Amino acid sequence: MTMTADIQEYWRDGLDQIEGWVDRRLLDYLVLIGEIQRHMALTGNIAEIGVFNGRFLLALAHLAAPPEKCVAIDVFEEQKYNIDGSSPGAPKSFDANWERFAPPGVSLVKIRADSLALTLPERIDICRQHGPFRLFSVDGGHTVDHVINDLAFAQDTLALGGVIMADDYFHSHWPGVTEGVQNFVTHGTSKVKPFLHIGNKLFLCPVSVHAQYVRIFNDRMGQRPQHKLVRMFGWDTLAVVNR
């Protein structure tokens, strides 16, 4: 089974069986990212900060090619560190969902940690053991400090040509995410820029491949209704209006 067919099968048969929040329109965009990265001959692992029950991480796992692995960074049962209540309690069934829906040959590494409290040696150790990452989802704490910290961590461990996905950008209930992304991207330390916004997820990639991602996405998706090429933080970004 190809990776495209694999993620489509999960989207059809598994996604709605897992508690969580994932915009169903994302499928075509994730598939296209996978195609672009395969064309680049890009390899690397997959990571997510803030996995909850694994709904989105499992989707990303279906874009992996063994022996690529998935790294789940979360406070898990240590909910005292979930200071903003950005997920409703500890994941109830992450392990069971992974066992049931993960693609064959893709292994899982669980790291129980508050990402904001990771020391520099711990970050370096994660990168040495499991990086670089070609897909990195940021969906942990939704405070400004958490978002800036997690985006910096993702950027520093990202493969050249990799993509960072920041969840709940422009979400009215979580303004800290929008403020955190803006501070990170505009304050001079960011090496990644936005190229796509859909369903409250902002997709960012390194400057060196930004034009390539924008061109391919605009060529393939830009003529669809509700799509518009806009300028975000001074960079071309394909924006998809929420329905």
CA distance 139 to 151: 10
DSSP state of 115: G
Mind listing the pLDDT tens digit for each residue in 173-212?
Answer: 999 999 999 999 998 779 999 999 998 999 999 999 999 9
Largest CA distance in the chain: 47
Answer yes or no: are the C-beta atoms of 151 and 168 closer than 8 Å: no
Contact 140, 164 (CB under 8 A): no
**Residue 90: its pLDDT value, please?**
55
The pair of three-digit structure tokens given for residue 7, joined into one six-digit string = 């993620």
Output the pLDDT for position 44.
96
d(CA 34, CA 153): 22
**Is pLDDT at 84 greater than 60 in this prediction?**
no
Name the token pair of 182: 């803006």
Sign for the pseudo-dihedral over CA of 193, 43, 61, 144 = negative
Place 4 in a pLDDT band, splitting at 50, 70 and 90.
low
Of 33, 4, 3, nearest to 198 by C-alpha is 33
Place of tokens 């961590």: 153
From residue 105, alpha-carbon distances to 64, 69, 99, 102, 127 in Å are 9, 8, 12, 9, 21
Mean pLDDT of all residues belonging to the chain = 91
Q: Where are the domains of the chain?
A: 3-207
Decide if pLDDT at 172 tops 70.
yes
Pick the CATH number of 3-207 from 2.102.10.10, 3.40.50.150, 3.40.640.10, 3.40.710.10: 3.40.50.150
Tell me the chain's radius of gyration from C-alpha atoms. Answer: 17
Would you put residue 92 in left (φ > 0), alpha (ψ -120 to 50) or beta? alpha
Residue 141 predicted with pLDDT over 80: yes
Look at residue 150 in the predicted model and tell me its pLDDT.
97
Strands (DSSP E) contained in 25-113 are 45-49, 69-74, 107-112
Cα–Cα dist 199/100, whole Å: 26
User: Mean pLDDT throughout 21-43?
Assistant: 95
Judge whether residue 80 has pLDDT over 70: no
Instruction: State the average pLDDT over residues 218-227.
Output: 90
Q: Tell me which H or E stretch contains 161.
A: strand 158-167
Cis-peptide, bond into residue 103, ω within 30° of zero: no
Residues of the chain with pLDDT > 70, as a percent, come to 91
Using the structure block, give the residue that is written with the tokens 């690529």.
Answer: 68
pLDDT value at position 82?
A: 52
Rounded to two decimals, the pTM is 0.93
What's the pLDDT band for 33 if we cut at 50, 70, 90? very high
pLDDT of residue 195: 98
